[in-house]
Structures are given as structure tokens and as C-alpha cells.
Copies of this chain bind each other. A is one copy, B any other.
Amino acid sequence: MPSSYSLDDLKKRLQDSSYKLTHQRKVVLEVFVDNPGCHLSAEEVHDILKQKSADIGLATVYRSLELLSAKDIDILQKIEFGDGCSRYELNVTEPNTHQHHHLICTKCKKVMEFSEDMLDTLEADIMEKCGFKVTDHQVKFFGLCEECRKKLAD
């Protein structure tokens, strides 16, 4: 994914929604573009920016994250791993990009990802049985990662 993609896309989406394209919003997004696959908390985004001397207020980080993950912008995805804070990651919006689910190791707490899109039939089933139109899903699998399983076998 070229980093220009998301930055240009952000610009377009912000302007479409008549939000301002501020320096702070740009650098917050850049953190996610520069750290692909990371599930960052507001504090972590703030720390990364501090190290890059692009120090912005923590409250602004929170406000930017909220905006970027809002329905009309939808550039970030908000996720909860139950570790006491909300985390965010780049939303996968490009064609040919698969939905991904999270594999959370209950031993070492590592979070891995797993690309798959097998939930389509399940979603059709939900529509039929419950009249509920699914627009998004979040799946978390808990268990033991390969490393931890090997350590247990020793």
C-alpha cells in the first residue's frame, strides 16, 4: 500500500465532510501508515510522535483518532483487546484486501493476524434468521500460539 494512498484519501474524505486537514491529523495518520500492522493506543501514538519531535497534545491525539475512525471517515478501525485501552489500526478499504481477524495468545499476550473471509455465509444466515443486516464484524480468537505450544511441550 503506497503511503500516498491513505494521505490523499484522508485529504479527500476530510474535505468531502468539510473537516479541516490540519497538521496534527496528518501526522497521526502517518504514524499508522509508517507502522503497518500495529494496534496502537492513543498513548503509543502520542509517544511515537514525541520521538519524531512532532509533539502534539494527547487530547488532540484522542480527538484525531475518534475522527479518523468515525463512520464518515472510516480510515482507522477501533479495536478492544481488553488490555485497558482502545487501540486503532488502519482500516483495510482497498479492493482485493482481505478482512483480517485477531489471534490473541492467552499465554504471551501476543496478537497475530489471520486473513480470511469465511463469514459471508454466516452473515447471510443472520440476515435470514434475525433480520439483522451485518455491515461489519470483529472476530477474536483466543488460544495458544505456536511458540507457546512448543514451550509447553518441552
A interface residue numbers (CB < 8 A to B)? 71, 78, 80, 82, 86, 103, 105-106, 112, 114, 116, 118, 121-123, 125-126, 129-146, 149
Contacts and interface: CB of A to CB of B under 8 A. Distances in A.
A141 B132 contact: yes
A136 B130 CA distance: 24
Contacts of A135: 106, 142-144
10 contacts: A71-B106, A103-B132, A106-B136, A114-B130, A118-B122, A118-B125, A131-B145, A132-B141, A138-B139, A138-B142
Contacts of A82: 78, 80, 86
A140 B141 contact: no
B116 A103 contact: no
A131 B114 CA distance: 11
A146 B118 contact: no
A144 B132 contact: yes
B121 A146 contact: no
Nearest to A144: B133
A116 B127 CA distance: 13
